[in-house]
A = this chain, B = another copy of it.
Amino acid sequence: MNKIIHLINDADCRLFQQSLELVGKRWSSAILLAIANGETRFGEIIASVPGLSDRLLSVRLKELEHAGLIERKVIASTPVQVRYGLTERGIDLISSLQPLVDYGHRWED
């Protein structure tokens, strides 16, 4: 049998699970994707991710910021604006998700 993914040790497994449980939490990657596509404001992100509530967006943005995937910038306008942007790490993560988009296309209903 030839292995599909090579993870010989426990450390690799934990690493994999960590990556996945961050991005795998509901809405996390959809939010990253929205930001990557240029929807950088709170209201814009909500509008572009169908089904996402403001409460969960608020929670996820904090998690993603804490994980070092996004950056929060406050713009002193009236009303005050907040813009979110991907960090280098966030860009790398979402790039790593591209094959999953392709998978979705290959197997759509």
**Chain A residues near B (Cβ < 8 Å):** 1, 3-5, 7, 10, 12-21, 23-26, 28-30, 33, 36-38, 49-50, 86, 89, 91-108
Contact = CB atoms under 8 A, between A and B. Distances in A.
A4 B95 contact: yes
Nearest to A35: B4
B19 A100 contact: yes
A98 B93 CA distance: 12
Given A30-B13, A30-B17, A101 B37 contact: no
A43 B59 CA distance: 36
A19 to B, nearest CB: 4
For the complex of A and B, list the 8 residue pairs with the smallest distance between their C-beta atoms, beginning with the closest. Answer: A24-B24, A15-B104, A96-B99, A96-B103, A19-B104, A4-B36, A96-B100, A16-B101
A4 B21 CA distance: 22
